[in-house]
Chain A
Amino acid sequence: MTQVHALFGGCAALFAAVWTGAVAAADPAPTLTDADEIVDRANLAAYYAGGDGRSEARMLITDSQGRRQLRQFTVLRRDEADGGDQEFLVVFSRPADVRGTVYLVEKHTDRDDDRWLYLPGLDLVKRISAGDKRTSFVGSHYFYEDVSGRLPDADHHQLVETTDEHYVLRHEPHDPDTVEFAEYTTWIDRENFLPMRIDYTNAAGTIYRRVEAQSVDTFQGHPTVTRTLVSDLLSGGTTEMRFRNIAYDIGLPESVFTERSLRAPPRQWLEPNG
């Protein structure tokens, strides 16, 4: 059981159900020049598609020695407001030692997130204190922040290049002591505003970490990243994440995101076509 704590302990919460895109524009979008506006659009595209959503997710974790681990879970997401607070419920189905574990997160933009973890072996609803958001999410190479979204206000943004396909931006943290990077660069798709690649640079000027969107499909008009890869460029470890059975605006009520769902996961909403 200790290990299950460990899997969830510090890493915080959850998944923005998926990286999703804003409604694909029919006409070519006008070229933007304001970095903050591009970042806000990207934040909405990647983390706030529809009013709510459901997705199944799978992670393949490969360490630097080639050893592999898997995680499988279903995510329910509900937005209080676009760009604002969100709720997540994550129900793990594999592997055996985390099966039945449920994670509930209320993401806040103005204070620390509220997080709970249900450990079925003990019937324990464990509340988790706020922690460093740049630590491993359930043993993978993803950080909490990669999947729930880094607040746009946390960094200073600069548009460095506009190519045919991408806006290329450089971001520097307002508070360098709270993060492990010195800066990062994103390649944001000019059509759908999804971040297609993020390179993290350390204080020595070395790119040590990369997140890439490998596959994008459109569901209910929302371009959505369905395959993504994070690489630890120093050690060689990677985590690949895939999503399926994606649905938006399924009408998730607020009551799904309560203690009740920890002990009795809401099958009606978790199963596809439920």
Chain B
Amino acid sequence: MKRLLAAGLIAGVLGITALAAPVSAEESSGNGWEDAWDDDWADEPDRPVWSGFVELAGGTQVVAGETPRDATLGELRGQAETEWLGEGYTLSFKGEVLHDEVLNDTDLEVRELALQVPVGTALDLKAGRQVLTWGTGDLLFLNDLFPKDFESFFAGRDDEYLKAPSNAIRISAYHDWLNAEVVWTPEFEPDRYLDGERFSLFDPAAGAIGVVDPPLDAATPDGLSSGELALRLFKRVRATEYALYAYRGYFKQPSAVNRQGRPTFAPMTAFGMSVRAPLGSGLVNGEFAWYESRDDGNGDDPRVPNSQARWLIGYERELITNLTGAVQYYGERIADYDALRSSAPNRETLPDKWRSLLTARLSYRAMRDTLTLGLFAFVSPSDEDYHLRPTVSYRVSDTWRLSAGANLFGGRKSHTFFGQLEDNSNVYVRLRRYY
């Protein structure tokens, strides 16, 4: 049934796309911008300008396997955003209505509702709901401990949805010799982790991949005592960007188990640094982070993740005109591994002491950038698993965009990060109408 639904949605999206081109041709002789152009620049109105899009998306699994649902994506989404510009402040809003047919759910989400105020000449304050990002990795995050949404990422939603919003206060201070940013998130905001509702996962209890039912429901620290504090000091010297990071909060994934046996988030403190600079005709970036697991100082508690070091080095450059290539090497090392190993209930599914991951990105633009072909690959030599993300995106006009792609997973073992998702490999298509 759900597979039929996904197939129907994909057919529907393609059908509408066939109409889109004539529609856009009509538009070009119709109202709106064209008139404004001919009128020679109608001024921006004083009232707030609303913009946004409506998007129809469908996706389905491509391999036979045990999954909660055949459809991996099936939704209608509407987004609206605006800004109110006041004397000395900006109030910004971005909200969405999402009907998700896969999970049979209709939801409102505010992605941004924030007040931005410059304080004096050297401070900016942004308070409210907002998406936050820093660090140098490409789809890899070391010192960026703001919430991610991996379910959206693996289901084929726009890259924008990999970042989930936080309720936070961000203070940025700028000075000639150093810039600093502090982000206070008063109540812990975890990643939107894979809970088994949409995708099948490795089930440690069963020791195999399966449908997790009921879905994973982690105990999440809440209240003001669960707040997170993140700090970044940064500076650019000529073309080289340097940054230092610190964080106090929790592991963002529910990798711990509480006394009741429920998954939960272990307290964590992190320190790190990053560098980014031109090298040859490309860009090189390096980043390091140390995650200190505060409740597992000796690493011998199997219910709490051990401390960890993470590092990354990457290089990006244009290979030929309109074709850009990028590679990254990423490593993780678990501290006190022997203690972890001796206390582990099941050594078979214990993560390796060292985890390595290679990524490659190819991006090609054609037809004056209206057509974009992309491939992003994650391959882990240590876990022997992979995740491939081919994408194609066509900007039909200023108002219509058609995107399609696949999320392919595989691996030799059932308990590794990408390997466990093997049965969830999927293809998707999305059609978006901007207004």
Contact = CB atoms under 8 A, between A and B. Distances in A.
A1 B391 CA distance: 12
Interface stretch (A30-38, A148-156, A165-173, A260-268): A260-268
A55 to B, nearest CB: 12
Nearest to B28: A68
Contact of B130 (A9, A66, A123, A131): A123
Interface in B157-176: 158-160, 162-163, 172, 174
Interface size bracket, A side: 35 or more
Interface in B265-316: 276, 278, 281-283, 316
Contact of A6 (B239, B241, B393, B399): B393
Contact of B174 (A11, A99, A258): A258
B106 interface: no
Contacts of A260: 124, 172, 174, 179
Interface string A84-118: 00000000011111010000000000011010000
A131 B318 contact: yes
Contact of B28 (A66, A111, A134): A66
Contact of A10 (B25, B90, B324): B324
Interface stretch (B219-227, B330-338, B368-376): B368-376
A127 B399 contact: no
B434 A97 contact: yes
A131 B320 CA distance: 9
Contacts of B355: none
Interface stretch (A14-22, A39-47, A135-143): A135-143
A267 B85 contact: yes
Contacts of A24: none
B52 interface: yes
A130 B85 contact: no
A147 interface: no
Contacts of A138: 369
Interface residues of B, number: 63
B24 A67 contact: yes
Contacts of A7: 369, 395
B363 interface: yes
B53 interface: yes
Nearest to A136: B368
Nearest to B370: A139
Contact of B158 (A1, A95, A244): A1
A96 B37 contact: no
Given A70-B398, A267-B85, A129 B372 contact: no
A82 interface: no
B240 to A, nearest CB: 10
Interface string B224-263: 0000000000101001010000000000000000000000
Contacts of A125: 133-134
A132 B124 contact: no
B213 interface: no
A163 interface: no
Contact of B133 (A11, A99, A122, A141): A122
A255 interface: yes
A205 interface: no
Nearest to A114: B239
A124 interface: yes
Nearest to B322: A10
Contacts of A123: 130-133, 163
A128 to B, nearest CB: 8
A96 B160 contact: no
Contacts of A210: none
A96 B55 CA distance: 14
A69 B370 CA distance: 11
Interface string B42-61: 00100000011100000000
Contacts of A58: 37, 41
A183 B40 CA distance: 35
Contacts of B90: 264, 267
Contacts of B34: 68
Nearest to B282: A129
Contact of B324 (A9, A121, A139, A141): A9
Contacts of B368: 61, 63, 136, 139-141, 237
Contacts of B278: 112, 114, 129-130
Nearest to A255: B174
A122 B163 contact: yes
B116 interface: yes
Contacts of A11: 369
Nearest to A65: B25
Contacts of B321: 10, 131-132, 134-135
Nearest to B395: A3
B435 interface: yes
B85 A96 contact: no
B33 interface: yes
A43 B52 CA distance: 40
Contact of B282 (A1, A130, A134, A136): A130
A3 B372 contact: yes
Interface in B370-395: 370, 372, 374, 391, 393, 395
Contacts of A70: 33, 37, 398
Interface string B75-99: 0000000000100001000000000
A257 to B, nearest CB: 11
Given A123-B131, A260-B174, A129 B51 contact: no
A168 B24 CA distance: 41
Interface of A: 1-3, 5-7, 9-11, 56, 58, 60-61, 63, 66-70, 93-97, 99, 111-112, 114, 121-125, 127-132, 134-136, 138-141, 237, 242, 244, 255, 258-260, 263-264, 267
Closest 5 CB pairs of A and B: A121-B160, A96-B51, A6-B372, A96-B434, A95-B398
Given A122-B160, A123-B163, A129-B282, 6 more contacts: A5-B363, A99-B51, A129-B317, A242-B40, A244-B41, A263-B124
22 contacts: A1-B159, A3-B393, A3-B401, A6-B369, A9-B363, A66-B25, A68-B34, A69-B397, A96-B398, A112-B278, A114-B278, A122-B160, A122-B163, A129-B282, A129-B324, A131-B318, A135-B321, A136-B369, A140-B368, A259-B179, A264-B126, A264-B172
